[in-house]
Amino acid sequence: MNYEFFIAKRIIGSKAYKSSISAPIIKIGIAAITIGIVVMMVAIATGIGLQQKIRDKVVAFNGHVTITKYDSNNSQESIIPISKNQEFYPTFKTVEGVGHIQGVAAKFGVIRTEKDFEGVYLKGVGGDYNWSYFEDFLIEGNLPDYSTKRNEDVLISQYLANRLRLKLDETFQMVFPKDDPERLTNIITYHIVGIYNSGFQDFDANYIIGDIRHLQRINRWKKDQIGNFEVFINDYDEIDKKGLEIYENIPSELNAETIKNKYASIFDWIQIFDTNIYGIIGIMILVAGINMITALLVLILERTQMIGILKAIGSNNWSIRKLFLYNASYLILLGLLWGNIIGLGLLFTQKYFKLFPLDPSIYYVTEAPVYISLGYVIALNIGTLVLCLLMLLIPSYLITKISPVKAIRFQ
């Protein structure tokens, strides 16, 4: 058996060790590791979780890449139509990694009830629409079906439903104004079949989902004409690369824009989370390391006579340093154990019971989302252990300066 490990194990298991003067300092060191790992774990889980949640909500309303006509229109309304008869539709064969492509359109209108009115965009979708994201948002009713005949079923947000005092299965009128004031406005009576809540108030307050064929009729478009294409890719990490490939493989009169460019302010904001996470990890490891250095120095001071005896019987400096590093490793691992129990407990509690709400007008989500992955948990534990041990190599060098004769006489 490794004799340094054997002695370290005996020291840790002794009653004198647990009741020594260094015991309170050791407990503080363990607590620092525990608190540090909890804070780091929560920072990573909530930071990544918030990034992914916000990103998925933007994708749900826009796709990863939007293909539009080149024009000077800066509004959300579809003005110049695009033909669906494109080489890249319905399957983008020239670019790998494209999972789905759909044709949509948007038109501004005013919802009118007996007591209220609200200006919103009707997002027109067809039978090719990907409802997978809205399945998670749906809180009442069902998702509409536009794969058969044209219908007046719509999906409305909970925000608009509450604001306009509308409920599931009720109807409302939507007025679509004309560019030419001499022409009569179009009025359509819609039926609410589903209510959704994405938590992204910027979108929930401005969009309802309806049949694109109504917009084609109002705009006097042909059946194969739409406002724009929404492209979904399989790997978000390749969005910049795929966005460029898509742009290079579409006709020259069309433009392709990624959601990162379209909503640059949002994505720049969530990118700051990475800096915050790295900052928190650095600070927590530094604090934990300093506490462990203090604990190690106290342990060395308390065991000065033992160090002198070990040197006297022939142990070299590195062997004695290893002994104390084994001891410190035990303390770090104990702190990591408690930190993982508490940290994962908090994260799973938040994931399933939603204990900590957030203001959707600021954070775009209604509760703090968490991302739990075995990969970052293992990396965080190994990284903390290794970095703390590397920091302890410097104070352990003090052992080389201890004289055996003076250490044995040390009181």
Tens of pLDDT along 211-220?
999 999 999 9
Tens-place pLDDT, residues 210-259: 999 999 999 999 999 999 999 999 999 999 999 999 999 999 999 999 99
Whether 269 shows a pLDDT value over 80: the answer reads yes
Find the mean pLDDT for residues 264-269: 91
Split at pLDDT 50, 70, 90, the class of 74 is low
Question: Which of 31-45, 148-162, 308-322, 380-394 is least confident?
Answer: 308-322
Residue 146 is predicted with a pLDDT of 95
Q: 303 lies in which domain range?
A: 3-56+267-409
Looking at residue 154, what is its pLDDT? 97
Gap between the Cα atoms of 17 and 6, Å rounded: 15
Mean pLDDT, residues 64-91: 86
pLDDT at 309: 81
- At 73, the pLDDT band (50, 70, 90 cuts) reads low
- Angle between the N-to-C axes of helices 374-396 and 317-353, in degrees from 0 to 180, rounded to the nearest 10: 150
Strands annotated E in 161-301: 171-176, 186-196, 207-211, 225-226, 228-233, 254-258
Give the span between the Cα atoms of 376 and 35, in whole angstroms.
17
Residue 407 — very low, low, confident or very high, per pLDDT cuts 50/70/90? low
Does 64 fall in a domain? no
Q: Are 183 and 296 in the same domain?
A: no
Q: Which residues contact 367 (CB under 8 A, 6 or more apart)?
A: 350, 354, 356, 357, 358
Summarize pLDDT for 298-350 with one digit per residue, the tens.
888 877 787 788 777 878 888 888 888 888 898 899 999 999 999 999 999 99
Beta pairing partners, 187: 175
Assess whether 83 and 226 both reside in one domain: yes
pLDDT at position 31 is 92
Determine the pLDDT at residue 319: 83
199 and 100 in a single domain? The answer is yes
385 pLDDT band (50/70/90 cuts)?
very high
Both 212 and 351 in one domain: the answer is no
In the listed set 252, 280, 296, which residue is the last one of a domain according to the structure?
252
Query: What is the rounded average pLDDT of the residues 391-407?
Result: 76
Please report which confidence band the pLDDT of residue 264 belongs to, taking 50, 70 and 90 as the band edges: very high
Q: 176-220 pLDDT, tens per residue?
A: 987 766 667 889 999 999 999 988 888 999 999 999 999 999 999
Q: Is residue 12 part of a domain?
A: yes
Tell me, yes or no, whether 282 and 397 share the same domain.
Answer: yes
Q: What is the mean pLDDT of residues 271-295?
A: 90
Same-domain status, 100 and 248: yes
pLDDT at 33 over 90: yes
Angle between helices 264-302 and 317-353 (to 10 degrees): 140
Residue 259, domain member (yes or no): no
Both 196 and 245 in one domain: the answer is: yes
Same-domain check for residues 196 and 315: no
Q: Are residues 273 and 381 in the same domain?
A: yes
**How many percent of the chain have pLDDT more than 70?**
93
Give the total number of structural domains in the chain.
2
Could you tell me if residue 381 is inside a domain? yes
The pTM for the full model equals 0.83
Using the predicted structure, report yes or no on whether residue 20 has a pLDDT greater than 70.
no
Compute the distance between CA of residue 322 and CA of residue 271 in angstroms, rounded to an integer: 42
Question: Are 76 and 184 within one domain?
Answer: yes
**Residue 52 and residue 82 in one domain:** no
Domain final residue, candidates 219, 252, 285 = 252
Residue 144 is predicted with a pLDDT of 95
What per-residue confidence (pLDDT) applies to 410?
54
Report d(CA 22, CA 406) in Å as an integer.
21
| Residue-level pLDDT at 21 | 64
Residue 383: pLDDT band (50, 70, 90) is very high
Cα(80)–Cα(57) distance, rounded to whole angstroms? 26
pLDDT higher than threshold 70 for residue 128: yes
Is residue 260 within 8 A of residue 239, CB to CB? The reply is: yes
**Residue 87 binned pLDDT confidence (cut-offs 50, 70, 90):** very high
- pLDDT > 80? residue 5: no
Read off the pLDDT band of 368 (50, 70, 90).
Answer: confident
Decide if 329 is inside a domain. Answer: yes
Q: Would you state the pLDDT for residue 39? A: 95
Helix (H, G, I), strand (E, B) or coil at 73: coil
Residue 26 has pLDDT above 70, yes or no: yes
Q: Are residues 83 and 225 in the same domain?
A: yes
271-306 core/surface letters (b: 16 or more CB in 10 A; e: else): eebeeebeebbeebbeebbebbbbbbbbbbebbbeb
- Whether residue 102 lies inside any domain: the answer is yes
| Burial tier of 173 (Cβ tally within 10 Å: 0-12, 13-18, 19+) | middle
DSSP 8-state class, residue 339: H
Q: Of 252, 280, 312, which residue is a domain's last?
A: 252
